[in-house]
Amino acid sequence: QKRAADGHVDNDWTTDFCNKVQEMQHFFGLPPSGELTNETLAVMRRPRCGLSDVERFEETIRWKKNTLSYRLEIAGYNFPIPASKVHKVFRAAWKIWSNVAPMKFRKRNRKEADIVISFHNGDHKDGSPFDGKGGILAHAFQPGYGIGGDVHFDADEEWSFNSTGFNLLAVAVHEFGHALGLPHSSDLGAIMYPAYNFAPTHELQLSFRDVKDVQNMYGDPNFDSLFSKNPPPRTPDKCDPDLSFDAVSELQQEVLFFKDRFMWRRHPKFDETGMTLISSLWPDNVPSYLDAVYENVERNVIVFFKGQKYWILRQLKLEEGFPRNISDFGFPYTIKSVDAALHFRNKRLTVFFTGKLCWRSLYWGTLYSPLITRYLSGNCGALWCDTSGNKMVTGNHRETFAELQRKPPVLGYIPVQ
């Protein structure tokens, strides 16, 4: 009887654990297998906020006033940078929220404050100990009296104002969102996404989801004129019928689809097309909003284009001396950017598209004279080659080169054969 009872408890615990893992996998856009796969473990090991991902606050709790006071406590913490700069960072973090919600934040030096911001090591007597470098970076408490709204940072982290270590501003904006009552967001592009997503090549700003969530709690200050000039960025949806890609490229067995600062990774062995940030694969090297990308298998490199610059990476590492100017490829000074690039593995040939000009390169850095192509069905947005033929993406339309060749020529067209 005792064995049966113990086995029943074990089964219940296993089922409950698997359900929790499935919830977390669904939240992060992973296949909800309920198993601790390598991809799941990788997500769990990422630097992150200390609050739970899938367990939302029991109810929506917000401050009942729109002017909040805060106080910074850093006494006894040997901060490697001046306290004045830390204060400046926190003012900037509060301003990011007050720019989109009718809120004001006042700093106090000694008086009681609604929100106390402090740095701690390990167990600091709030029931949520820090774990040293990496792992949990900070945590905050939902609005309320006493410890409510307070924000704690792990003093063991390497905090910085740039791309080294962990960016203090990026983490502060996230934790201040919790202090205002916002839970974690499953939107990969949101500030309130639980994992640390700061990329030095991307301007730190609230996403459309962040803005809507805070305005649902504290009201809409009627910033229509502001948003019409600089609307908050939306995370692209792969199911959007109007979605177009910035670039498409193969990378070993995968096909990568780039859009803004995001990319989808399509692997032939998996049904799901996973979405991630470009910075998650190339943290400091590859910019967002790319123009073109292609993989050169013979040289074992992948090449990225944006504006008049290009980057070459080998085994995910930036080659020395890059980025460089696209004039290295032989483009005249009138060419300011590359719209798309396509590399033919079996022919060792690369084709570049600039407006309605098509350039062939048989050797690295050597261009043949431009060829006038047939009109595309739209601006050439992204190109790639797969095993079933040459696929072309023009805006949100997909067609093969065979289909393209059936269109009326403009001046003439030399097929890539």
For the chain, the structural domain boundaries read 2-40, 48-229, 247-405
Of 28 and 117, more confident: 117
Q: Write out the chain in H/E/C secondary structure.
A: CHHHHHHHHHHHHHHHHHHHHHHHHHHCCCCCCCCCCHHHHHHHCCCEECCCCCCCCCCCCCCCCCEEEEEEECCCCCCCCCHHHHHHHHHHHHHHHHCCCCCEEEECCCCCCCEEEEEECCCCCCCCCCCCCCCEEEEECCCCCCCCCCEEEECCCCEECCCCCEEHHHHHHHHHHHHCCCCCCCCCCCCCCCECCCCCCCCCCCCHHHHHHHHHHHCCCCCHHHHHHCCCCCCCCCCCCCCCCCEEEEECCEEEEEECCEEEEECCCCCCCEEEEHHHHCCCCCCCCCCEEEEECCCCEEEEEECCEEEEEECCEECCCCCEEHHHHCCCCCCCCCCEEEEECCCCEEEEEECCEEEEECECCECCCCEECCCCCCCCCEEEEECCEEEEEECCEEEEHHHHHCCCCCCCCCCCC
Q: What is the mean pLDDT of residues 126-145?
A: 86
CA distance 54 to 56: 6
pLDDT at 39: 67
The neighbouring-strand residues paired with 178 are: none
Angle in degrees, 0-180, between the axes of helices 168-179 and 83-98, rounded to the nearest 10:
50
Tens-digit pLDDT profile for residues 81-95 = 778 889 999 999 999
Residues 374 and 404 sit within 8 Å (Cβ to Cβ): yes
pLDDT band for position 180 (cuts 50, 70, 90) = very high
Q: How far is CA 412 from the centre of its chain?
A: 42
Residue list, annotated binding site: 49, 114, 124, 126, 131-132, 139, 148, 150, 152, 154, 157, 174, 178, 184, 192, 246, 291, 341
**Which position has the token pair 């969102």?**
177
pLDDT at 56: 52
Q: What is the mean pLDDT of residues 269-298?
A: 81
Q: Please give the structure tokens belonging to residue 383.
A: 């190109």
Q: Please give the structure tokens belonging to residue 292.
A: 């073109």
386 contacts: CB under 8 Å, gap ≥ 6:
250, 255
Q: Please give the structure tokens belonging to residue 386.
A: 């797969």
Tens-digit pLDDT profile for residues 213-227 = 999 999 876 655 556
Please, what is the average pLDDT of the chain?
77
Tens-digit pLDDT profile for residues 356-379 = 777 877 665 555 545 444 444 445
Q: What is the mean pLDDT of residues 280-298?
A: 84
Strands lying side by side in the sheet with 371-372: 340-344, 349-354, 357-361, 371-372
pLDDT at 161: 82
Of 137-141, 288-292, 349-353, which gets the smallest average pLDDT? 349-353
Q: Please give the structure tokens belonging to residue 234.
A: 């939306």
Q: How far is CA 165 from the centre of its chain?
A: 17
Of 23-27, 270-274, 411-415, which gets the smallest average pLDDT? 411-415
CATH 2.10.10.100 fits 247-405, yes or no: no
Instruction: Single out the residue of 131, 10, 19, 124 nearest to residue 77, CA to CA.
Output: 124
What are the catalytic residues? 175
Tell me how far CA of residue 27 lies from CA of 149, 211, 237, 326, 330, in angstroms: 25, 20, 15, 40, 47
Q: What is the pTM of this model?
A: 0.76
221 contacts: CB under 8 Å, gap ≥ 6:
100, 101, 102, 215
Residue list, annotated binding site for Ca(2+): 114, 131-132, 148, 150, 154, 157, 246, 291, 341
pLDDT at 367: 52
Residues 74 and 83 sit within 8 Å (Cβ to Cβ): yes
In CATH terms, the fold of domain 48-229 is Collagenase (Catalytic Domain) (3.40.390)
Question: 48-229 and 247-405 share one CATH topology?
Answer: no
Residue list, annotated binding site for Zn(2+): 49, 124, 126, 139, 152, 174, 178, 184, 192
Whether residue 238 is predicted with pLDDT greater than 70 in this model: the reply is: yes
